[in-house]
């Protein structure tokens, strides 16, 4: 039985290598399961240690029958775990659902799947390192875009052959990788694990406040350094949207109450385009923030 257990471990290591890396082959090989060779006496074949040999052969046969050709498939089927919406989003947008976006195996481009937030959809992905899966909040009959939750294959897989769990924390990383794949960049050459870790450590609590455009440009050019992961230029804003509790689109920004005169102070707002929402009425302002000017439009 000791020999059989060793052979079973060798098979497991080999399967794990094929499924996760598809580039490396463990030093041990199939020959370990057939260590004892047949000997012949008077032309009658016999086997030394036959029970061990036969049992190992049976185990290998069962593995192959159960798994078929899955060891060699170029794609994997995964269930997608979706995170709960932030509380203030659920209050303001009770009809929110998800639009799951993921790369299509072997065809290029991205597919979309509209699902309820309580569902656990199933998708097919190529067995390629650092493929992004994103879940954009989607409101029926309303054209607004909130930042996505995200996950990266296989970094966010408890079991890379079964499921991937998306989170709001990984949304910005997945968005960076999506932009790079769309531009034709091979993200499997990127140290995806370190990219995700450094973005988490340097974002100061909100990964959507990072300068994602700079990160994408540097990664695409091959001149990326971790020092390029930095917050985007920002400024404080004083607006007069009226009474209520207001919030920007990032899932990491909590609502802020306006003063009694209807004025509102928003701190460290990144330059660029934003949406400002009122919690109870879903009133919306579009903001375009520049160094010296803020354009506001309902």
pLDDT tens, residue order, the chain (298 aa): 444 444 444 343 334 334 443 344 444 443 333 334 444 444 444 445 455 656 655 555 555 445 544 455 788 999 999 999 999 999 999 889 999 999 998 777 899 999 988 889 999 999 999 999 999 999 776 656 799 999 999 999 988 779 999 999 999 999 999 999 999 999 998 999 999 999 999 999 999 999 999 999 999 999 999 999 999 999 999 999 999 999 999 999 999 999 999 999 999 999 999 999 999 887 889 999 998 888 888 7
- Rounded CA gap, 221 and 153, in Å? 23
Provide the pLDDT for residue 105: 87
Mean pLDDT of the chain: 81
- Rounded CA gap, 116 and 86, in Å? 15
pLDDT tens for residues 11-34? Answer: 433 343 344 433 444 444 433 333
Provide the pLDDT for residue 297: 80
Q: What residue ranges define each of the domains in the chain, with the CATH number in brackets?
A: 2-72 (no CATH), 75-185 (2.60.40), 234-297 (no CATH)
């Amino acid at each position: 039985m000791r020999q059989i257990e060793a052979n079973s471990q060798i098979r497991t290591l080999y399967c794990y290598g094929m499924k996760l890396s598809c580039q490396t082959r463990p030093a041990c090989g199939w020959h370990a399961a057939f260590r004892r060779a047949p000997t012949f006496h008077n032309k009658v074949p016999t086997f030394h240690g036959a029970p061990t040999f036969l049992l190992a052969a049976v185990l290998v046969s069962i593995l192959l029958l159960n798994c078929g050709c899955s060891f060699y498939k170029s794609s994997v089927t995964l269930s997608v775990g979706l995170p709960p919406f932030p509380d203030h989003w659920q209050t303001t947008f009770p009809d929110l659902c998800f639009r799951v976006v993921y790369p299509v195996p072997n065809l290029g481009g991205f597919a979309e799947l509209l699902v309820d937030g309580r569902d656990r959809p199933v998708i097919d992905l190529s067995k390629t390192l650092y493929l992004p899966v994103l879940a954009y909040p989607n409101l029926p009959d309303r054209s607004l875009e909130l930042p996505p939750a995200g996950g990266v294959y296989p970094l966010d897989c408890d079991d890379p052959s079964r499921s991937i769990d998306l989170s709001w924390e990984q949304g910005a990383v997945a968005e960076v990788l999506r932009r790079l794949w769309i531009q034709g960049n091979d993200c499997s050459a990127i140290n995806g694990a370190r990219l995700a870790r450094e973005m988490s450590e340097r974002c100061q609590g909100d990964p959507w406040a990072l300068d994602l455009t700079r990160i994408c440009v540097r990664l695409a050019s091959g001149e990326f350094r971790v020092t390029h992961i930095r917050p985007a230029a920002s400024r404080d804003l004083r607006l007069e949207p009226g009474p209520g509790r207001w919030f920007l689109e990032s899932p990491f920004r909590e609502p802020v109450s306006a003063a009694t005169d209807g004025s509102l102070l928003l701190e460290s707002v990144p330059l660029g385009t934003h949406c400002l929402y009122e919690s109870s009425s879903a009133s919306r302002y579009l903001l375009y923030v520049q160094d010296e000017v803020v354009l506001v439009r309902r």
